[in-house]
A and B are shown apart, each in its own frame.
Chain A
Amino acid sequence: MVQEKKRKLKVFDYFYEAEEQFSGGLAWCAGCTLELAARFVPKVLGKDIILVGCPGCSAPVFYGQNRGAWHRMAYFSSLMTGVASSATGISRYYRKIGKDVTVVCFTGDGCSADIGFQPLSGAAERNEKIIYITYDNEGYMNTGYQRSSTTPLGASTSTTPVGTASQGKLTPAKNVPLLMAMHGAVYAATATLSHLEDFAKKLQKAKEKVHEGFVYIHIFAPCVMGWRFATDQSIEVCRMAVRTNYFPLWEAEDGKFSLNLEVANPKPIQEFIKLVRKFSHMQEADITGFQQMVDQRYAIIKKLCEVIK
């Protein structure tokens, strides 16, 4: 999909033509991929959306803590336990009064993969007509880089620190986008910031498919501060995650899986690991284990694309 239309990229049009919904001077960190994602979402979905979020990196900007810089959208800050349910309530109310409104949840992985997973799962099962976007920075980056259930195997965080007895997280990440696809979401997809044209297409698809039911988009959003890499490397980290098949770009529409970008010669996982200092303690054996995990996960997606198409 991406490859055949590659020459007709519209991604720059969004930046130059679509109205910017945020003012300058937002309180996000330099090099933050979440900021790019947050600015980009309304450029494609339009400003007439109702955003629902929760405490996390996105919240201070969305609810307007930094009073000098804000946005022009309707935003409701739920608690971390209630994002998908509050969005359900908003969406159902507008359905009741017969008004077509796009309700978009925008949360980090701490909400969607951990504490807010139950309502997310419930909303998906009920096939609520909402779009749920997760910006996955693989941990609780806002509260000081603690681990979440999407923190990858071996990653050093403030609650899985490297010590003499243990080195980083002991278990692999929960595969949330796959879980959401398996809920029977009408549309589930992964996206990242190095492939904005792909992300834009998925957002457009989301806007269309949400009229049929639940839509889930999982954005790989590396964190400069928590993962420890240079502020000019954010997009490179995203790109390398795709090129190593660490974060494959796929979608599942009406239960049919497809890879949006099949990497011809995937790079070894070292190429990704070496960019990010949260992995810097990893030894060769760790990296071999990590590579196996990446290969296995990719194989699942690849197989799903072959079997259910």
Chain B
Amino acid sequence: MTLAQKGKVRVITGNSAAAYGAMLCRPDVATSYPITPMSEVAEQLSTFRSNGLTDTEMVEVEGENSAMNVVLGASMAGGRVFTATSSWGLSFMYDAVQHASGYRAPIVMVIANRESPGILAVSGGQQDIISVRDTGWIQVIVEEGQEILDMVIMAFRLAEDYDIQLPVMVNYDGFYLSYMATAVEIPEQRDVDQFLSVLKQQPRRQTLEPGRALGCGTHGIDLGFVELRYRQCMAMERVTTKLDDIDREFSEYFGRSYGGQIEEYRTDGAEIIIVTSGGAAGTTRVVVDSKREEGIKVGLVKLRLFRPFPRKRLAEVLKGRKAIGVIDRSVGFGWNSGPMYMELRAITPEIGIIPMLSYIDGLANLDITIPHIERVVDEVHNAAQGKPYQEVTWIPLEE
């Protein structure tokens, strides 16, 4: 029995969508260690296995650090691998996370984003992935259930592409998307097989094989280290356009497209742009529509790719606008602003000096509501008119 026979459209949670996406890609080895709000991914994978829907080797590890190391080992041996985590789990695997990217292991990991350690916060937020943005992993943030499933499939294509060979984190809002059940179309297995089959035609990467003299160590020495780092960085550079290509190809297969690095919504003729990511993008769309009716020329840019940062495409889209507002679900310590805002500030030379406003909202499961985003649009609009503005606003504290 294949998964597709179970019904084409199912009402499933974001966590289940991630598990379905992974299973359709037929990983050789998968691991996970339970953590709120991701545990359901582990349960779902184990259920698939128990019901004979997959022959993936499931390893029930004793901690997240081992979860990452198991998939790293399997990946180095040549296997396709998948794991999932959240927040403190990601922190606990931090050494292995860096090890994996150093080895250029094409691991796919989904993360149900949650506030990170420090303050006891069992609640949503993106601080967990922000804290690992410079680990050499590709980071994609998605908006809803269908996109989770589709992006997991695309993530395998991206990670394992011979030009890339970097691990990928597919991120979705913990507590919101992780638990919310929506209608999700489960692609046909044969279509997914076909979509991924291009990887088989590519050169095979070096793997650990018995009898083959191969000393895998990330203890690169002097110039060797620098060269490996450079290559890793160059691979990261190639991700931007590669993701666009994969997204286009995906839409040919499955009829759905997400824009690759970024998704634009009503940016044509927009004077101001709201930049955000994840589920907040959905709410922002609603506000963009209503504000457009009021006559405010506003558009949305949904940041999908956070690492590498899509600076070129963002510069193209943002150039010539009058003001930009960025809504972050995390904080950048030492900058008193949102991390995505900080990164956008870095492309000022490309887009020119215009008002850029940082909004911190949605920390610790607080809702990013329609009134919040309306306020953002109004303030950014006023800034575009040359009125004075506040650079950084912590929305929940000013309500």
Is the beta-carbon distance between B213 and A70 smaller than 8 angstroms?
Answer: yes
What distance in Å separates the Cβ of A38 from its nearest Cβ neighbour in chain B? 13
Complex CA distance for A271 and B351, rounded to whole angstroms:
78
Is A222 engaged at the interface, CB distance under 8 Å to the other chain? no
Per-residue CB proximity of A162-176 to B under 8 Å, as 1/0? Answer: 000000000000000
Of B28, B76, B215, which is within 8 A of A62 by CB? Answer: B215
Is B281 engaged at the interface, CB distance under 8 Å to the other chain? no
Is the beta-carbon distance between A75 and B215 smaller than 8 angstroms?
Answer: yes
Is A228 engaged at the interface, CB distance under 8 Å to the other chain? no
Contacts of B59 in A (CB 8 A): 88-89, 92, 126
What distance in Å separates the Cβ of A141 from its nearest Cβ neighbour in chain B? 18
Main secondary structure of the interface of B (DSSP, over half): mixed
B58 to chain A: closest residue by CB: A92
Is A90 engaged at the interface, CB distance under 8 Å to the other chain? yes
Complex CA distance for A157 and B59, rounded to whole angstroms:
38
Complex CA distance for A118 and B69, rounded to whole angstroms:
12
Which among A47-55, A243-251, A296-304 touches the partner chain? A47-55
Residues A126 and B221 in contact in the complex (CB < 8 Å), given A63-B215, A79-B99, A90-B77: no
Of B60, B95, B209, which is within 8 A of A126 by CB? Answer: B60
Is the beta-carbon distance between A55 and B219 smaller than 8 angstroms?
Answer: yes
Is the beta-carbon distance between B60 and A88 smaller than 8 angstroms?
Answer: no
A21 to chain B: closest residue by CB: B213
Residues A96 and B29 in contact in the complex (CB < 8 Å), given A77-B217, A82-B68: yes
Contacts of B365 in A (CB 8 A): none
Interface residues of B in 49-99 (CB under 8 A from A): 55-57, 59-63, 65-79, 81, 95-96, 99
Is A81 engaged at the interface, CB distance under 8 Å to the other chain? yes
A-B contact pairs, 21 of them (CB 8 A): A62-B217, A63-B217, A70-B215, A74-B209, A74-B212, A78-B72, A82-B66, A86-B69, A87-B73, A89-B79, A92-B59, A93-B28, A93-B57, A93-B73, A93-B74, A94-B77, A97-B79, A118-B62, A118-B63, A119-B69, A126-B60
List residues of chain B with CB under 8 Å of any chain A CB: 28-29, 31, 55-57, 59-63, 65-79, 81, 95-96, 99, 208-219, 221
Instruction: Contacts A75-B214, A82-B69, A94-B77 known; list 8 others, CB within 8 Å.
Output: A65-B219, A70-B213, A72-B213, A76-B76, A79-B96, A86-B73, A91-B73, A118-B66
